[in-house]
């Protein structure tokens, strides 16, 4: 049974810093991995989707990497801004999507 874990659960960093969010999954036989952003009380915004054949995907200041063999993915955020404050969810498909609990990110102005 696929399980997704995200570390850390919460993170506070000063504005401008680069940061890394971690995601691990137990079953490496995945087709893709998706990173979402969730603002408090809001819906899920898809940030990046990495196919299993890819090593990384980039969108603006975001870069997601995937290492299937080790069951890990990272989301790198460059030059963080207060507007990046949100919860970031990692998710893998297993017929349905299995979500991690998320990392709650707070960027300090």
DSSP state of 5: E
Task: Indicate whether 61 belongs to the interface with other proteins (CB under 8 A).
Answer: no
Measured in degrees and rounded to the nearest 5, phi and psi for residue 29 equal -80, 70
Site string for other proteins, 86-105 (x = CB under 8 A): ---x-x-x-xxxxxxxx---
Task: Indicate whether 26 belongs to the interface with other proteins (CB under 8 A).
Answer: no
Task: Summarize as ranges the residues that interact with other proteins (CB under 8 A).
Answer: 31-32, 34, 36, 41-46, 49, 89, 91, 93, 95-102
């Amino acid at each position: 049974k696929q399980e997704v874990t995200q570390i850390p659960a919460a993170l506070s960093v000063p504005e401008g810093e680069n940061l890394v969010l971690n995601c691990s999954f137990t079953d490496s036989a995945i087709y893709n991995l998706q990173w979402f952003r969730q603002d408090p009380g809001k819906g899920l915004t898809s940030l990046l989707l990495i196919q299993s054949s890819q090593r990384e995907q980039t969108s603006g200041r975001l870069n997601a990497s995937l290492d299937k063999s080790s069951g890990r993915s990272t989301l790198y955020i460059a030059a963080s801004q207060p507007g990046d404050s949100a919860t970031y969810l990692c998710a893998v498909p297993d017929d349905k999507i299995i979500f991690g609990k998320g990392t709650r990110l707070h960027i300090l102005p």
